[in-house]
């Protein structure tokens, strides 16, 4: 739950920071599901919202070091010999911020996951759940939860900074913990009804 909660905290902060993106998500929610409860099958009909959720995960990179893996056999990668039994810690930041894989790696840019027709595009370099055979066992559940929670929140509320704070003043600095969270912030949830 900590990873899902942290990702949603990043998502709300990013929606306050980029209100034009929040508005586009809400327009898609209104068009596709209206006031009905969101369901997992809506995700394929909501490419922009799906792209925003993926970009939140890429941008926030809440587990940059991930968990250690162990090689099950001797392997040579790019000329480096790694013997069986070696612990390997995937540095996901090296992929999620790779300039050869992302048009704007240091920016929050949902278009990373959209083609020229606005359709969702899966990217091989998107791996916030780690890599290899030991990928996070909860990936499917987490993706479903993130979509449903994020969509439900933006269906009902518009998220804004508190009075006297502009979106440009919001701090996107991460905290330094095992799970990378945003610095604490205040939010105003304004009902959309």
CATH classification at residue 112: 1.10.630.10
For residues 55-82, give the mean pLDDT. 86
**Is 136 flagged in the annotation as binding?**
yes
Q: How confident is the model at residue 29 (pLDDT cuts 50, 70, 90)?
A: very high
Tokens of 165: 């704070």
Domain span at residue 147?
Answer: 2-62+104-191
| Residue 13 within a domain | yes
Q: What is the pLDDT of residues 134-173, one digit of tens each?
A: 666 566 667 788 999 999 999 999 999 999 999 999 999 8
Q: Which of 25-29, 99-103, 105-109 has the lowest mean pLDDT?
A: 99-103
The mean pLDDT value of the chain amounts to: 89
For residues 67-95, give the mean pLDDT. 86
**CA dist 11 to 88, 108, 149, 172, Å?**
30, 11, 11, 11
The residue among 45 and 93 whose pLDDT is bigger is 45
Domain count for the chain: 1
| Residue 182 within a domain | yes
| Residue 155 within a domain | yes
pTM score of the predicted model: 0.87
> What's the pLDDT at 158?
98
- State in Å, rounded, how far the first CA of the chain is from the last one: 29
């Amino acid at each position: 739950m900590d990873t899902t909660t942290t990702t949603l905290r990043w998502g709300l902060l990013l929606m306050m920071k980029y209100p034009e993106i929040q508005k586009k998500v809400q327009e898609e929610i209104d068009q596709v599901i209206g006031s009905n409860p969101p369901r997992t099958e809506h995700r394929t009909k909501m490419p922009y919202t799906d792209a925003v959720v993926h970009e939140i995960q890429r941008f926030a990179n809440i587990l940059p070091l991930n968990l250690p893996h162990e090689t099950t056999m001797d392997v040579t990668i790019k000329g480096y010999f790694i013997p069986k039994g070696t612990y390997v810690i995937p540095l996901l930041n090296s992929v999620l911020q790779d300039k050869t894989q992302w048009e704007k790696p240091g920016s929050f840019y949902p278009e990373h996951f959209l083609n020229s027709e606005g359709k969702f595009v899966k990217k091989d370099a998107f791996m916030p759940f780690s890599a290899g055979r030991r990928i996070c066992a909860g990936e499917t559940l987490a993706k479903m939860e993130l979509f449903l929670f994020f969509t439900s929140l933006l269906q009902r509320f518009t998220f804004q900074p508190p009075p006297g704070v502009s979106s440009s003043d919001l701090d996107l600095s991460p905290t330094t913990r095992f799970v990378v969270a945003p610095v604490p912030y205040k939010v105003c949830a304004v009902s959309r009804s």
